[in-house]
Amino acid sequence: MSRDGAVRARFFRAATVSAAAVLLVSGCEGLGEDGSAAGPGPAAPDGRAVSPLRNPDGTEPGLAPVTADADKAAARKLIEELPTKGRGPKTGYDRDKFGYAWMDTADGVPLARNGCDTRNDLMRRDGQNLRFRTGSDCVVIAMTLNDPYTGTTIDWRKQKAAEVQIDHVVPLSYSWQMGSSRWPAAKRKRLANDVLNLIPVEGRANSAKGDSGPASWLPPDKSIRCAYAVRFAQVAVKYEMPVTAADEQAMLRQCGG
């Protein structure tokens, strides 16, 4: 088998194991009518957070803690399958190489071309008590956000937009150093606008993170750190992207490894 084929096979096994583990944890009675995994964590009417293990496409709100032993075992299995490599140079990185922010035309990701840009899609996904600009059902001007990174509640208003920022769980600069510099432009646009890789969070926490991987930065709220590691790994699996060995070990430690 070629090296590229071996890498693809490892990613496929990781995704398959993760999905199977979720089904085992949920049980047959935990399946919705459409066959999707239910159980603790499905989105509630008030927008409460969902476990990343039960939200594999990122379309449900928030990031709920991963606490059950079986869930942590599934998380570790997913993380252990990630290939590792050293972080390359940042030479040539530019945010514009991932498309303009926040485009609604990154085909191939959830919510693309729905008439609402990615930022507002995420505000609508995770916010509660939403208020929209007059005449719009897209542009959010006020909301309440339960920030998963700090565990605080933010009453956000558009006049102070920076109080809530959209975090790329896998930072774009990090992805560049791990291989996205060689991706087609369309794939980079998908990563930048994929709701699986995006979470509205407290602005100060997002600024503190910068382009760090999990070995250098983790959410201040320790209860969410395994869930954060799972989401980081889910994005890496989806985009066939390696992580550094230090980041992999840091993610495993958050989930009891």
Residue 80 has pLDDT above 50, yes or no: yes
Q: pLDDT band at residue 17, thresholds of 50, 70 and 90?
A: very low
pLDDT of residue 10: 46
Cα dist. 170→82, 84, 117, 207, 209 in Å? 14, 15, 20, 14, 11
Q: What one-letter code names the amino acid at 184?
A: P
Q: 3-class SS at 169? A: coil
Question: Which residues are CB-contacts of 231 (< 8 A; sequence separation ≥ 6)?
Answer: 52, 58, 63, 169, 196, 199
pTM score:
0.83
| Whole-number Å distance between alpha carbons of 77 and 88 | 26
Instruction: Identify the three-state secondary structure at position 47.
Output: coil
Q: pLDDT digits over 187-237, tens only?
A: 999 999 999 999 999 999 999 999 999 999 999 999 999 999 999 999 999
In sequence order, which residues have a C-beta less than 8 Å from that of residue 106 and are 6 or more positions away?
A: 99, 112, 118, 186, 189, 190, 192, 193, 194
Extents of the domains making up the chain? 3-254
Maximum distance among all Cα pairs of the chain, rounded to whole angstroms = 58
The answer for residues whose C-beta is within 8 angstroms of residue 225's C-beta and 6 or more apart is 218, 219, 254
pLDDT tops 90 at residue 46? no
Residue 54's contacts (CB-CB under 8 Å, 6 or more residues apart) are 22, 26, 37, 38, 39, 40, 41, 42, 60
Mean per-residue pLDDT, 41-55: 68
pLDDT value of residue 27: 34
Higher-confidence position of 6 and 56: 56
Query: Which pLDDT score, from 0 to 100, does residue 162 have?
Result: 96
Contact 192, 101 (CB under 8 A): yes
The model's pLDDT over 138-197, given as tens digits with 9 standing for 90+, comes to: 999 999 999 999 999 999 999 999 999 999 999 999 999 999 999 999 999 999 999 999
| pLDDT: which is higher, 256 or 24 | 256
